[in-house]
């Protein structure tokens, strides 16, 4: 048949996921891919697949010679059109594990629309090939049920987000992806300008400045499914380009933003996954999160809290702890229930986790009775053992793990041990989504190497009212109107109420050693806009990729992105980034500098 008319005569009347016994005896046409084929002597079965499902096609021995010959030619992933009659499968031949398992299609005509070479890997539930091969042949990998399901979920999540926000009166507004480079934060991806040679655009790390300006413009509820670009090393939960559900609102306080986000999450989970989330979400201050869970993105599917050991450490005989405390450090302890039988090897493994996060070691002791401790550093605390056990709420058979260090290091390192134990002790239930807000973040962090204050989040977040007076005197204690949404140890969203007062903005700039002149140069357009009646505003940006990864219980955001980059930011399929022609460089007034050659 001539190709150009196949799609007129053999156009599908149904999809491969919808035929049921209700349609029996009907003549139908299906288009799809040969998923499996089983030649059984005089009878051939073909599993025809499209994105809606799989339907079994039967070619029987009474078929025309032409049909039999065509059926014989079919191989994996041939794209074909099948015309046939729907019929109920004989008793005992029904496949209950299949949506269309009650029926089959007796083929009358099969047209091969295109053929397929020997596959690099099979199309199945989940591709079994190594990831770089999956990425090279991403179009094949995307045919797998797993990828199809996840891409569909992604579609449903963005739809549910749009649905909720639009119903709440938000406008979806696009912002540019060729913008000016701004300081701080991650490295920018740069795009050279041809017309204005020597100048560069940057790809946005987020639409931050534009959405604030949209607030000045009076679009008081804005959102965008926004692509963001950050030139940093990729990870399982990070890609050089990723997507945020970016939103911003005017005339709001923190709680208004949190409430909208909670409602949106509730709608997404319900519509995309049928999960009922109870709102409002728990709230935890940054300080409490760090002190109790050793993380600003704690996994609350299990408790296992960090406790403070300073009061005992200062009185005990263990000099290491005392020295740390004298230097304004912290001693934190984790009570691990029922793990006193842990081997030296197991404890060493946990110590390695702590060391990865900067701890010098992981001290330990075992609880052997109401007042008995043993092993590790137990001998330094025998006299106060009973009090320690009572104070920590420990019991016989528990294991105590300690980290002593600078407060942040002690908490972070022991928090990492806590996370590891959550996995090791099987405390992590799938399909259990424990949301919480982390609030009251510090606005500034001290940079010890360079001896100055850095913004902990970004420069435009509002300091909380009670710190306004002493902003310059003691930047370290200033809390901002910042909030992160966390679920199961994953940072899902980050946002803040913004500064809309140019004078206050100027004070924040000066704390981080940013001269007004410099600020004018880099953010002048934002500051300028704030001269013209800016409304109080704030917003948030949930990470779409992470949200979907969480929803489908995957380990990597690459599993929910159609065409992701690998860990060095390359795409094996199209082999980007790639060298370019000399002429292209010339047009852009660019010249490559010789880098060290690797032999």
- Residue numbers at the binding site for RNA (CB under 7 A): 36, 38-43, 45, 47, 56, 58, 60-61, 75-76, 89-90, 92-95, 97-98, 101, 104, 118-122, 128-133, 135, 184-187, 205-206, 208, 230, 232-238, 356-358, 454-459, 556, 558, 566-568, 570, 572, 598
Helix (H), strand (E) at residue 538: strand 537-542
Q: Which residue has the tokens 């029996």?
A: 24
CB of 104 to RNA, least distance (A): 5
Q: Which residues share a beta bridge with 543?
A: 244
Phi, psi of 59, rounded to the nearest 5 degrees: -110, 115
Q: Which residues share a beta bridge with 31?
A: 81
CB of 205 to RNA, least distance (A): 5
Taking residue 112's Cβ as centre, other Cβ atoms within 10 Å add up to: 17
Q: By C-beta, is 237 or 587 nearer to RNA?
A: 237
CB of 120 to RNA, least distance (A): 4
CB of 506 to RNA, least distance (A): 17
CB of 204 to RNA, least distance (A): 8
What is the C-alpha separation between 264 and 495, in angstroms, rounded? 15
Q: By C-beta, is 244 or 266 nearer to RNA?
A: 244
Q: By C-beta, is 120 or 338 nearer to RNA?
A: 120
Q: By C-beta, is 37 or 366 nearer to RNA?
A: 37
Do 320 and 404 form a contact (C-beta atoms < 8 A)?
yes
Which of 172, 484, 505, 437 shows the shortest CA–CA distance to 284? 437
Q: By C-beta, is 133 or 153 nearer to RNA?
A: 133
Contacts of 233 (CB under 8 A, 6+ apart): 567
Do 201 and 191 form a contact (C-beta atoms < 8 A)?
yes
Where would I find the H helices in 137-285?
138-141, 145-167, 208-216, 254-273
Q: By C-beta, is 152 or 235 nearer to RNA?
A: 235
CB of 568 to RNA, least distance (A): 5
Q: By C-beta, is 232 or 317 nearer to RNA?
A: 232
Q: By C-beta, is 132 or 255 nearer to RNA?
A: 132
CA-CA-CA-CA dihedral for 446, 449, 454, 456, to nearest 10: -70
CB of 276 to RNA, least distance (A): 30
CB of 198 to RNA, least distance (A): 25
CB of 596 to RNA, least distance (A): 9
SS3 label, residue 371 = coil
Which of 311, 357, 351 shows the shortest CA–CA distance to 330? 311
Q: Which residues share a beta bridge with 442?
A: 479
What is the C-alpha separation between 132 and 139, in angstroms, rounded? 13
Taking residue 119's Cβ as centre, other Cβ atoms within 10 Å add up to: 13
- What SS3 string covers 29-90? EEEEEEEEEEEECCEEEEEEEECCEEEEEEECCCCCHHHHHHHHHCCCCCEEEEEEEEEECC
Q: By C-beta, is 29 or 56 nearer to RNA?
A: 56
Burial code (b: 16+ CB inside 10 Å, e: under 16) for 129-158 equals bebebbbbbbebbbbbbbbbebbebbebbb
CB of 588 to RNA, least distance (A): 25
Q: By C-beta, is 122 or 259 nearer to RNA?
A: 122
- What SS3 string covers 112-140? EEECCCCCCCCCCCCCCCCHHHHHHCHHH
CB of 435 to RNA, least distance (A): 21
Q: By C-beta, is 378 or 482 nearer to RNA?
A: 482
CB of 236 to RNA, least distance (A): 4
SS3 label, residue 452 = strand
Q: By C-beta, is 197 or 515 nearer to RNA?
A: 515
């Amino acid at each position: 048949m001539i190709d150009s008319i196949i799609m007129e005569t053999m156009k599908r009347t149904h999809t491969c996921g919808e035929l049921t016994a209700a349609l029996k005896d009907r003549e139908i046409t299906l288009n799809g891919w040969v998923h499996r084929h089983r030649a059984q002597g005089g009878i051939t079965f073909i599993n025809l697949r499209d994105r809606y499902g799989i339907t079994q096609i039967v070619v029987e021995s009474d078929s025309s010679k032409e049909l039999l010959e065509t059926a014989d030619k079919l191989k994996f992933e041939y794209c074909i059109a099948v015309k046939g009659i729907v019929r109920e499968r004989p008793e005992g031949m029904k496949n209950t594990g299949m949506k269309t398992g009650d029926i089959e299609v007796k083929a009358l005509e099969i047209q091969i629309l295109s053929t397929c070479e020997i596959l690099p890997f099979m199309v199945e539930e989940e591709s079994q090939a190594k990831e770089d091969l999956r990425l090279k042949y991403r179009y094949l990998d995307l045919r797998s049920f797993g990828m199809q399901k996840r891409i569909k979920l992604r579609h449903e999540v963005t739809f549910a987000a749009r649905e909720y926000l639009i119903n709440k009166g938000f406008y979806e507004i696009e912002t540019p992806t060729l913008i000016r480079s701004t300081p701080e934060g991650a490295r920018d991806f740069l795009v050279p300008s041809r017309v204005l040679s020597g100048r560069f655009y940057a790809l946005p790390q987020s639409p931050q400045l534009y959405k604030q300006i949209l607030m000045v413009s009076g679009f008081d509820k804005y959102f965008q499914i926004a692509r963001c670009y950050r030139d940093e090393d990729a990870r399982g939960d990070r890609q050089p380009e990723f997507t945020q559900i970016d939103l911003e609102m005017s005339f709001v306080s923190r709680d208004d933003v949190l409430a909208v986000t909670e409602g949106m999450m509730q709608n997404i989970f319900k519509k995309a996954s049928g999960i009922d989330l109870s709102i409002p979400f728990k709230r935890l201050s940054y300080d409490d999160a760090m002190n109790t869970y050793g993380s600003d993105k704690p996994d609350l599917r299990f408790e296992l809290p960090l406790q403070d050991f300073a009061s005992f450490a200062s009185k005990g005989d263990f000099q290491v702890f005392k020295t740390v405390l004298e230097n304004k450090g912290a001693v934190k302890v984790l009570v691990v229930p029922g793990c006193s039988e842990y081997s030296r090897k197991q404890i060493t493994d946990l110590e390695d986790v702590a060391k990865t996060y900067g701890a010098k070691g992981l001290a330990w002791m075992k609880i052997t009775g109401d007042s008995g401790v043993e092993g590790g550093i137990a001998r330094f605390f025998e006299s106060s053992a009973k009090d320690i056990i009572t104070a920590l709420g420990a019991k016989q058979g528990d294991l105590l793990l300690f980290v002593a260090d600078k407060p942040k290091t002690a908490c972070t390192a022991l928090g990492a041990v806590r996370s590891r134990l959550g996995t090791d002790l099987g405390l992590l239930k799938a399909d259990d989504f424990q949301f919480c807000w982390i609030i009251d973040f510090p606005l500034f962090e001290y940079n010890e190497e360079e001896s100055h204050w850095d913004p902990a989040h970004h420069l435009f977040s509002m300091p909380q009212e009670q710190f306004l007076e002493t902003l310059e005197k003691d930047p370290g204690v200033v809390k901002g109107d910042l909030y992160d949404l966390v679920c199961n140890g994953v940072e899902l969203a980050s946002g803040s109420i913004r500064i809309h007062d140019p004078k206050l903005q100027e004070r924040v700039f000066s704390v981080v050693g940013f001269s007004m002149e410099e600020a004018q140069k880099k953010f002048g357009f934002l500051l300028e806009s704030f001269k013209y009646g800016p409304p109080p505003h704030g917003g948030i940006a949930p990470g779409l990729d992470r949200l979907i990864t969480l929803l489908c219980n995957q380990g990597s955001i690459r599993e929910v992105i159609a065409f992701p980059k690998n860990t060095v930011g390359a795409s094996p399929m199209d082999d980007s980034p790639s060298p370019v022609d000399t002429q292209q460089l010339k047009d852009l007034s660019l010249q490559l500098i010789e880098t060290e050659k690797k032999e």
